Structure 1
Amino acid sequence: MEKLNRIDRRSLLLAAGALAAAGPAGMARAQAAGSIKVATWGGSWRDSLDKLVGESVRKAGGTVDYVVDTPQGNLAKLVAARGGNAPFDTMESGLELVQLMAADRFVADLNYDKLPNAKALPDFAKAKNYVMTLGSMDGIIYNHEKFKELGLEPPKTYSDLGNPKLAGKVAFPDITHTQHWNAVAGLAYEAGATEADLLKAIPLVNKIKPAYFYSASTELSTKMAAGEVWAAPWHAGFVVRLRRNNVPLSISYPSFGTKKGSLWPVLHHIVRGTKNEALAETFVNAYLDPATQLAHAKATGVLPINRAAIKGMADDPENKGVLMLGDAELDNLFVVDFAKVKLAEWRNAWARDILRG
């Protein structure tokens, strides 16, 4: 993880362009029967993943099912199953969980000989026990029609969500949600601190007075579409997805010191003790195929890792103008440095000091 925190953002998103041209022919051809379960998010993310990646498992003679929850919720399932059969075979997660899962030996070391599509990724995206697949671009999602009606300018900071005109209409990501970390880090920066002192964000969250703290994006999507929520720290993908249903959403990207906007890397693991490692490897390898990454990223409004796929995103009418895709913009994205975050202190403070209801 220290290596990830030392790299620049352009390397994170733009490396490996030459190798990305390998295309679908680079997929592993190992045939494996049986079934696997993949722990992932729900809704349109799960649907796209099954359509684009799950098909590789079916072509290999197997079947794939999905366990839908947040990464933290799925980690809790692994903890509960300790000593027995694993509840799933692969899982998506984030940087805040890597050290814990590795220390407790919940995830297996990856055999990159079985993941030939990983050759098209930069070295930092290939860790001992996870591979980086995609990234969400986080910011403030807001209903631009409501803001116009209220005479409000687009929000520039997370603290702007405390405007009295937005009372009762703001949601905030709970600590179990992926988008929580960039939001609270952003507030810490606005308070003159960094992710090393997230406690500075507590008064600002309480000043915002969120109407509710969301733990599932599918639920927030429903509330946004119904007009029950007008603004929330979230990621750009939901602007893309909900605009397809004519929900008038836009995104603004707050600053983190000299950085603007934030990236959340999506990680994929194979769970230790899987009974069908070959099929799990087939799934992960297919996920890394450049064409598959581009198609999944277009469908869900996120960023693929390799350069060729990112260039493809720039030509997509739904994603351009929502995602920041210029070289300088990508180079200047903020990524939380979890080597600095005092996780136990923050979890305790969040449970103790945040005002609810």
Structure 2
Amino acid sequence: MGLDRVSRRQFVSGLAALGSLPLLPTGAAAAQDFAGRSLISSGFGGSTMDIIQKAVFDPFDKATGARSTQVPMQSAAALARLKSEAGNPQIDMYQFSGGQEDVAKKEGLIQPLTAVSQLDDIPVGLRDPDGSWVAWAVIAEGILYRKDKIKEPPRSYRDFLKPEYKGHIAFPAITNGYGVDFLVMLARAFGGGEDNIEPGFEAMKKIKGETIFKAASDLPSLFGQGDIWIIPYDSGNAFKLQTSGLPVGFATPEEGSPAVNITAVVAKGAKNADVANAAIDYMLRPEAQIEIARQMRWTASNPKTKLPADLAAEVPDVSQLAKLNRALINEQRAQWIERWNREIAR
């Protein structure tokens, strides 16, 4: 049932269930009237898409009169759709999580953002210098740990080499993007980095006898059995484990939290580009970003967003993010995988 069909009492009740979003937004989005206009955006599917719809698009629709719909597709499929509809896009706005926005820009598939009043507030690195895309949220990586086994939160990626954790560590295979980031952060922790990965491999060799897993779907069983105490992963999955009842905490390492950007773009030639720009502006509002942090523990990209104390303790601030050189990583990834299979994998 759309928001334009529910009563005010139902709408207020729904917001109460969600959290602290105000009934009506203020600012650029509220000043525009898109009554009867439609906005079609790609979405990530599943519960993530549902949360974004309720926390961002539904309140935006209520404020502006627009009617927003998300079409579920993962980032690679979304980029393929954008390419296939070049010149006549049926989807106005796309959300990416794997860097596809850069490809879309290079191939001329997206148009510069306009009327996004908060774009300049977003830190360099979380927005395109030419204004073609913006990261409206960030999935922050860090250290997940069992609070009943590790009393003091881990402080560094170096902690994975502590002797008291031997036999209780799990880390993702390098075929998982988080596995690559773990390798890089180990390298950084021991004096190297993307341009000198040797310290990362040397550190990983010391824990190669530990449990290696493939995907996030393995986390509940790994932590649930009680033998695994510490894993490098992300704040969103830590929250999912917490809501399932597992005593899992999330720690931001002193080396910083590698960032997976959640970006938004407008398709070139989009029929509702003005609505899409207004929706992206709403995504950057502190109220919307607080609700996304509350529901998924994603980091707010807007530095003006001040999280309540209960969230700030669990979600890294944008200033704590570690910017990785993705271009350099991608250039070497094939070589690293080959070496990892030879030296680390069992």
Q: In the alignment, which residue of structure 2 is the partner of 1:280?
A: 276
Q: Distance in 1 between matches of 2:301 and 2:122?
A: 7
- Per the alignment, do residues 112 and 277 of structure 1 end up closer, same or farther by CA in structure 2, a change over 3 Å counting? closer
Deviation at 1:171? 3.3
Name whichever structure is richer in helix by fraction: 1
The answer on 1:334 being equivalent to 2:322 is yes
Q: Distance in 2 between matches of 1:201 and 1:298?
A: 33
Write out aligned runs for 1:1-357 (5 A).
Answer: 24-27=26-29, 28-31=32-35, 33-34=37-38, 36-40=40-44, 42-43=46-47, 45-56=48-59, 58-59=61-62, 60-69=65-74, 74-75=75-76, 77-79=78-80, 82-84=83-85, 89-93=93-97, 97-106=100-109, 108-113=110-115, 115-118=116-119, 121=122, 125-127=126-128, 128-147=131-150, 154-158=153-157, 160-161=159-160, 167=167, 170-172=170-172, 174-175=174-175, 177=177, 179-180=178-179, 182-198=181-197, 200-209=199-208, 211-215=211-215, 217=216, 219-220=217-218, 222-223=220-221, 226-227=224-225, 230-256=229-255, 260-272=256-268, 274=270, 276-310=272-306, 313=307, 315-317=308-310, 319-323=311-315, 331=319, 333-338=321-326, 341-350=328-337, 353-354=340-341, 355-357=344-346
Deviation at 1:76? 5.2
Matching residue's letter, 1:54: F
Task: Work out the percentage of aligned pairs sharing the same amino acid.
Answer: 16
TM-score by length of 1: 0.69
Deviation at 1:247? 1.6
Matching residue's letter, 1:38: S
Q: Please, which runs of 5 or more residues in structure 1 have no aligned partner?
A: 1-21
Q: Judge conservation of contact 1:56–1:283 (CA < 8 Å) in 2.
A: no
Match of 2:325, SS state, is: coil
Q: Distance in 2 between matches of 1:300 and 1:154?
A: 21
Matching residue's letter, 2:309: D
Q: Distance in 2 between matches of 1:112 and 1:141?
A: 39
Match of 2:196, SS state, is: helix
Q: Judge conservation of contact 1:199–1:346 (CA < 8 Å) in 2.
A: no
Q: Which structure is richer in relative contact order (CA contacts within 8 A, separation 6 or more)? A: 1
Deviations 1:31-76 (A, max 9, x none): 4634523233754x4332111112156544434124253xxxx235
Matching residue's letter, 2:249: S
Q: Distance in 2 between matches of 1:29 and 1:78?
A: 30
Q: Please, which runs of 5 or more residues in structure 2 have no aligned partner?
A: 1-23
Deviations 1:305-333 (A, max 9, x none): 334422xx1x332x2433455xxxx6565
Match of 1:208, SS state, is: coil
TM-score by length of 2: 0.71
Q: Distance in 1 between matches of 2:149 and 2:245?
A: 14
Q: Judge conservation of contact 1:181–1:336 (CA < 8 Å) in 2.
A: no
CA RMSD of aligned residues (A): 3.8
Q: Judge conservation of contact 1:188–1:197 (CA < 8 Å) in 2.
A: yes
Q: Judge conservation of contact 1:24–1:290 (CA < 8 Å) in 2.
A: no
- Per the alignment, do residues 104 and 168 of structure 1 end up closer, same or farther by CA in structure 2, a change over 3 Å counting? farther
Q: Judge conservation of contact 1:36–1:279 (CA < 8 Å) in 2.
A: no
Q: Structure 1 stretch 164-173 or stretch 50-59: which is displaced more?
A: 164-173
Q: Judge conservation of contact 2:138–2:261 (CA < 8 Å) in 1.
A: yes
Q: Distance in 2 between matches of 1:75 and 1:175?
A: 16
Matching residue's letter, 1:142: Y
Matching residue's letter, 1:110: P
Deviation at 1:289? 2.2
Deviation at 1:272? 4.1
- Per the alignment, do residues 226 and 306 of structure 1 end up closer, same or farther by CA in structure 2, a change over 3 Å counting? same
Q: Structure 1 stretch 79-88 or stretch 282-291: which is displaced more?
A: 79-88
